[in-house]
Structure formats: C-alpha cells, structure tokens
C-alpha cells in the first residue's frame, strides 16, 4: 500500500535557529490512508515541525514530503487542523467560526454565499456529531473550554479534509473533558475514515486513540520507535484500566525516557 503521508529523510533547520541545530534530522515517517497515527516525544523534539512540514507550512531543507501522492510545495488544502488553543474569533458565532475555512478553501469559497444554508446545515450536523447540538448560535465566550475545542474540531472538518492534523488539541482541558473528547475523536475517525496525525504529550491519549504510535528523539528529532496498537475497535474507555493498556503506556514511557536521556 502507498502511504498517504510520506516524509522521507527530511532535515529541517529554522532560518532563525540561533545554534543552527536542525529541528528535525533524517526524519522518515509513513502513514497510511485512514490511519490514526500519534506522535509522542520529549518537549521541543520537533513534533510541531513535523506537522508544519506535512501541511506545507514549512519546507524541508533536505528530503521529501509527499502527501496523497504529491510532493508538498504549498500549504496542503486537503488538510484540516486543530490546535491546543481553539482560537475562535470572539465576534463570530460558533457556526460562523466553523464556516471560516470555507472562506479560504476552493471550491467552497466561490459557493459559500449562494449555498450558505447548505453549509450551515453541514456545520450544525458536525456540531451534533461532537455533542453540541443547537449550540451554533452561541459566541465562543459563551462556551466552556471543552465546548470550544469540540467546535474547533468541527471547524477543522468542515471542508471534509482527507488529512486531519491535531496538535495537542486536548492539552488545556481537565482530564474528564479530555477523555470525553477522546471518544468524540474516536467516533469522528470511525465515521469519516479520515487520516489523522495527533501530536500529544499524553501517552494514554496516544495509546487509546492511535493505530500506531511514533516516538521521536530529542532535538534534532527523528523517529526512534514505532509501536502498533492492536486493541480492537471501537475502543471503550474501560480499556485504559486494563493491564495490557498500562503495559503499553509503560513501554512508550520507556522510549521517551531513553529519548530524553540521549539529549
């Protein structure tokens, strides 16, 4: 099978890096279509850089980045993104925030004005899927942090991306809300067959959600371990209390500890 995301032997140094040390070096990672991949690693190891390379927000100094069969040379339109901070515009309602990417991405951009009702219905359908039915008229400041993050997932999905990039999306939430959102994410992935790359510091989150977990070394980042997660789907939160789950988290923690030591 051809990988959907194929990052091959990539080295990237930021122009402003004072010490000239690459953020990532000889980074190779391949993710299949429809796969849920999680990237974990010590702080500053280049996880966000990997995201930027895969979405065309940065270009590698060396190596190649291929997404959906094409070498990445500009921001990747087939990607949707959600970050730790939902960054919703406070003067727009939740639905209007969700519609925002459509004002940029073609062919939606040209269709949006004429077919607004159709797109609003789509946004409301997504809100229902993430447990926010009927909340679309509210402003972001009327929503809790967890609700805003749910809405930002809708915004990332509104243009039906084939690739969803999640950079620490649940990092700022309390642990109960976080686990609720794991289930939302699990269900969205099952329903949409979208390829997902999740960057996280939370090893339990990676183990619960992913098909494969990739561990990165300390800077300059590269993949030091790759672990398939074979728990059957759909997964219930109950599995996080099993010895097998604890063992997996323990194993991942060992890889990160090694990676930090090597720094």
Interface contacts to ligand ATP, rule CB under 6 A: 14, 16-17, 23, 41, 43-49, 219
Least separation in angstroms between CB 187 and ligand ATP: 27
Cβ atoms of 223 and 27 within 8 Å: the answer is yes
Least separation in angstroms between CB 49 and ligand ATP: 3
Sheet architecture: strand order including 62-67: 24-31, 5-12, 62-67, 70-71
Least separation in angstroms between CB 222 and ligand ATP: 12
Least separation in angstroms between CB 100 and ligand ATP: 24
Report the alpha-carbon distance of residue 61 to residue 71 in Å, rounded. Answer: 14
Q: Which is nearer to ligand ATP, 16 or 193 (CB)?
A: 16
Q: Which is nearer to ligand ATP, 52 or 186 (CB)?
A: 52
Report the alpha-carbon distance of residue 6 to residue 52 in Å, rounded. Answer: 14
Q: Which is nearer to ligand ATP, 46 or 161 (CB)?
A: 46
Cβ atoms of 23 and 49 within 8 Å: the answer is yes
Q: Which is nearer to ligand ATP, 89 or 263 (CB)?
A: 263
Q: Which is nearer to ligand ATP, 162 or 219 (CB)?
A: 219
Q: Which is nearer to ligand ATP, 15 or 117 (CB)?
A: 15
Sheet architecture: strand order including 163-167: 79-83, 163-167, 195-199, 36-40, 212-216, 223-228
| Partner residues linked to 8 by β-bridges | 64
| Partner residues linked to 37 by β-bridges | 197, 212
Residues contacting 260, CB < 8 A, separation 6+: 42, 218
Least separation in angstroms between CB 111 and ligand ATP: 35
Alpha carbon separation from 195 to 34, 210, 212, 244 (Å, rounded): 4, 11, 12, 26
């Amino acid at each position: 099978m051809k990988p959907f995301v194929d990052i091959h032997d990539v080295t990237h140094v930021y122009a402003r890096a004072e010490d000239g040390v690459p953020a990532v070096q000889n980074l190779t990672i391949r993710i299949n279509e429809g796969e849920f991949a999680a990237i974990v690693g010590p702080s500053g190891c280049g996880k966000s850089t990997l995201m930027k390379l895969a979405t065309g927000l940065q270009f590698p100094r060396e190596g190649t980045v291929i997404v959906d069969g094409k070498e990445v040379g500009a921001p990747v339109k087939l990607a949707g993104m959600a970050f730790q901070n939902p960054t919703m515009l406070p003067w727009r309602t939740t639905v209007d925030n969700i519609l925002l990417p459509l004002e940029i991405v073609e062919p939606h951009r040209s269709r949006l004005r004429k077919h607004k009702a159709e797109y609003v219905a789509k946004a409301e359908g997504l809100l229902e899927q993430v447990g926010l039915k009927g909340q679309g008229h509210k402003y972001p400041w009327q929503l809790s942090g967890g609700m805003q993050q749910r809405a930002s997932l809708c915004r990332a999905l509104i243009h039906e991306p084939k690739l969803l990039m999640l950079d620490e999306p649940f990092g700022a939430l309390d642990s109960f809300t976080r686990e609720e959102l794991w289930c939302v994410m699990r269900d969205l992935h099952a329903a949409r067959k979208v390829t997902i790359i999740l960057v996280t510091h939370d090893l339990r989150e990676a183990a619960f959600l992913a098909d494969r977990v990739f561990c990165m070394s300390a800077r300059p980042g590269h993949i030091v371990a790759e672990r398939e997660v074979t728990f059957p789907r759909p997964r219930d939160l109950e599995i996080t209390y099993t010895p097998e789950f604890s063992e997996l988290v323990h194993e991942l923690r060992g890889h990160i500890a090694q990676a930090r030591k090597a720094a």
